[in-house]
Amino acid sequence: MYIMDVPIKTNINKKIKYLAFIKTYGCQQNVSDSEKIENVLSAMGYQITNVKEEADFIIFNSCAVRKNAELRVFGNVSQLRKLKKKKPNIVIAICGCMTQQSHIVKKIRKDFEFVDIIFGTNTIEILPKLIKSVFLKRDIKNKKFAQNFKDINFKPFEILQKTDISIENLPCKKENKIKTFISIMHGCNNFCSYCIVPYVRGRELSRKSESLLQEFEKLVKTGCKEITLLGQNVNSYGKTLDKKISFTELLRLLTKIEGDFRIRFMTSHPKDVSKELIDEIVSNKKICKHIHLPVQSGSNKILEKMNRKYTREKYLKIIDYTRKKAPELSFTSDIIVGFPSETYQDFEETLSLVKEAKFSSLFTFIYSKRKGTLAADMRDNVPYQTKIQWLNELLKIQKNISSNFYQKFLGKRVRVLLEKEKNKKNIAFGKNSENLTVYIEDCSEFLLGKFVQVKIISQNNRVLRGKILHKNS
Ligand code: SAH
Ligand code: SF4
């Protein structure tokens, strides 16, 4: 089904105003999916609210990457029981990565019977049908609303877990945003042994470059200044397409579009980083000088058990090659602490890699066992308390490294995209090309959404403050 089938606003009975609340958990991919959900709901006539209690439709877009995320979703869903008792007419839906797993769906059905709709990651376009089916079972007022939809008989409590997706057909309604995302591919083929993503998001599938180019051009024309290309492993973009195209070629294509904008992308997998790609990032002015390159561990033994398909030496070589060409380019990374069979010696290798790589920031995670993954069958020999100690040790070391990285920008002139007028003190902020946040005092609201030249006047840990030099640059 294509989005054109969704009834548009004008069909809706104007007297009935329906409010929708969307809560997003997890990664940028989910943020991007929630944006699509918002577009679908708006097309149906819903208005979006930030207040859960006043909503008629509540949807949780869930994350399954770590157990903590799952527990948070369950905790928040459980709190809806009271609300549903008070307002039995609300429709509650759960979607996203968690609902791609049958044991989770079973649990939701058993423990949270008040949830009306469950659907997976790749089926956003059928949401109107699902909502309609719930409305049709309710009172006259609700039924009237539902009559505006096409007559399709879907059972309530529909569970859809399809992983073959119609990836080109969701609308792009993102005008007037300063920055936004585009998913260039879906799914993942890598099967890192700890990771649930390939199971819940399905196989890797790239979107056609022609369709991306169109969407990208439209965004630039509507004034978007920063677009982040999303995928679980953007470096392998194009491999599933008939018309072969590499990620580097895609970057070249998109940056040829006229206009003052910049591109970010995530996530890159170290196994697929080529010199050609680095050369393009370094030399192309429209590509931000930041690479998120998750390393996960500094120990070759652990990397092999994780099925990451690179060594610490190869990883550090990428960093070395890049830094020789662009010393200030910022690398960020993800690290998992306490993987099954990890010893303190293995962890020390992670510490030494972190010291060598000098990341500007690090995202650190304690290993979380995910049912159905290869690592779930490995013996997890590291006590939880030990994992926490290791994590703290890592964070302490990284804090200094980050601070030193940020310090390099003190006194320098940087180009910042102003994203937000902030608080009462009138402090605005934006990011530079390296993805470092810069706070600016006394910034006029007219500069919001503009690139400005800023001189960095102070630095404290990861806080940079700056002064505007020129309004347009
Ligand atoms: N596709 C991206 C990452 C997706 S998940 C990549 O390959 O880099 C984001 C991060 O969550 C991962 O990089 C990893 O550090 C962390 N992560 C994934 N599964 C995890 C698990 N089972 N336990 C702890 N951290 C995990
Ligand atoms: Fe998960 Fe690995 Fe795929 Fe990233 S590359 S999503 S960590 S399986």
- Domain 413-472 belongs to what topology? OB fold (Dihydrolipoamide Acetyltransferase, E2P) (2.40.50)
Atom of ligand 2 nearest to the CA of 189: 3
CA distance 150 to 131: 12
CA of 198 to the centre of ligand 2 (A): 7
Q: Distance between CA 45 and CA 315 in Å, rounded?
A: 49
DSSP state of 204: -
- The CATH code that applies to domain 168-407 is 3.80.30.20
Fold of 2-147: Rossmann fold (3.40.50)
201 C-beta closer than 6 A to ligand 1: no
The verdict on the CB of residue 387 being under 6 Å from ligand 1 is no
Pocket of ligand 2 (CB under 6 A): 188, 190-192, 195, 197-198, 232-233, 269
Query: Which pLDDT value is given to residue 3?
Result: 30
The predicted pLDDT at position 377 comes to: 97
DSSP string of 89-105?
T-EEEEEEGGGGSHHHH
Distance 297 CA to ligand 2 centre (A): 14
pLDDT recorded at residue 424: 64
Residue at token pair 């206009």: 259
Q: Fold identical between 2-147 and 413-472?
A: no
Residue spans per domain, the chain: 2-147, 168-407, 413-472
From the CA of 345, how far away is ligand 1's center (Å)? 22
Per-residue confidence (pLDDT) for residue 15, from 0 to 100: 55
The ligand that comes nearest to the alpha carbon of residue 297 is 1
Residue 457's φ and ψ, nearest 5 degrees, are: -105, -20
Token pair listed for 454: 């800023």
Compute, in angstroms, the gap from residue 128 CA to the centroid of ligand 2. 31
Kindly state the tokens that stand for 350.
Answer: 């992670």
**pLDDT tens digits for the chain (473 residues)?**
223 333 333 344 455 578 999 999 999 889 989 988 998 888 888 899 999 999 999 999 999 999 999 999 999 999 999 999 999 989 999 999 999 999 999 999 999 999 999 988 877 878 888 888 888 777 666 666 666 554 333 333 333 444 444 444 444 455 568 999 999 999 999 999 999 999 998 899 999 999 999 999 999 999 999 999 999 999 999 998 999 899 999 999 999 999 999 999 999 999 999 999 999 999 999 999 999 999 999 999 999 999 999 999 999 999 999 999 999 999 999 999 999 999 999 999 999 999 999 999 999 999 999 999 999 999 999 999 999 999 999 999 999 999 999 999 999 999 999 987 766 667 889 999 999 999 998 777 778 899 999 999 999 999 999 999 865 55
Which residue owns the Cα nearest ligand 2 atom 5? 190
451-460 and 91-96 as β-strands: parallel, antiparallel, unpaired? unpaired
Closest CA to ligand 1's atom 21 = 368
Task: Determine the pLDDT at residue 422.
Answer: 65
- Residue 258: CB atoms within 10 A of its CB come to 8
Q: Which residues contact 350 (CB under 8 A, 6 or more apart)?
A: 297, 298, 299, 335, 337, 394
Q: CB atoms < 10 A from the CB of 30, how many?
A: 20
Angle 98-102-106 from CA coordinates, rounded to 5°: 95
Element (H, E) at 402: helix 384-407
CA distance 462 to 128: 44
pLDDT at 164: 40
Helix, strand or coil, per DSSP, at residue 163: coil
The whole-model pTM stands at: 0.89
Q: Which ligand is nearest to the CA of 201?
A: 2
Q: Is the dihedral of CA 461, 426, 454, 256 positive or negative?
A: positive
